[in-house]
Amino acid sequence: MASDGEDMVLTSTESEVSAAETDTESKDFDAHLSASDTEEEETVEVEAVPTSAEDADMEELLKQLEDYTPTMPDALTLHILKSSGFNTVDPRIVRLISVSAQKFIADITNDALQHCKTRTTNIQHSSGHSSSKDKKNPKDRKYTLAMEDLVPALADHGITMRKPQYFV
């Protein structure tokens, strides 16, 4: 064999022998690979492991979302998403957006309820007179969602809402 840039001269018989050796070596290597591939396929079963804690949390959340039915139906969410230009075929994304919208609406209504309770408490204390009807247990009291409670709750979340003019 030549090394370090020396010229090599092979006769035709030497090149045929060299080619035959290369063919048998490659066949042996291929046979070894195919045998080891079948052994690995039969014995090795690898379970997909999340790469980080965030990925594990996301997988757990997506599994929990499959069983949860949000108040806002997926069909409604999908329709709203399509009308706004967002097309998706993954139902997990639609479910995640449905749950997010539900939480957003729940936060706004809870804030409106707190405004209503504050407003009614301030009205009762400032009036000075209370009847037996107003002395009910606070848990027995029923509240009504009004615009005067909803507007400040929406303003807390960055939404400006104005009451339309009333024409007689």
Query: Structure tokens of 109?
Result: 């209504």
Q: Does 74 have pLDDT greater than 80?
A: yes
The predicted structure's pLDDT at residue 106: 95
Q: pLDDT digits over 137-146, tens only?
A: 667 788 888 8
Q: Which residue pairs, CB below 8 angstroms and at least 24 apart, start in 102-109? A: 102/70, 102/71, 102/72, 104/157, 105/72, 107/157, 108/150, 108/153, 108/154, 108/157, 109/145, 109/153
Share of the chain above pLDDT 90, in %: 28
Contacts of 130 (CB under 8 A, 6+ apart): 124
Would you say residue 48 has pLDDT above 60?
yes
| Rounded Cα distance, 109 and 149, in Å | 9
End-to-end CA distance of the chain, in Å?
A: 108
Predicted pLDDT at 102 = 94
Look up residue 124 and give its amino acid.
Q
**4 — pLDDT class (breaks 50, 70, 90):** low
76-129 pLDDT, tens digit per residue, is: 999 999 999 999 888 889 999 999 999 999 999 999 999 999 888 888 777 665
Higher pLDDT pick, 46 / 122: 122
Which of residues 35 and 52 earns the better pLDDT score? 52
Give the separation between CA 137 and CA 119, rounded to whole angstroms.
Answer: 17
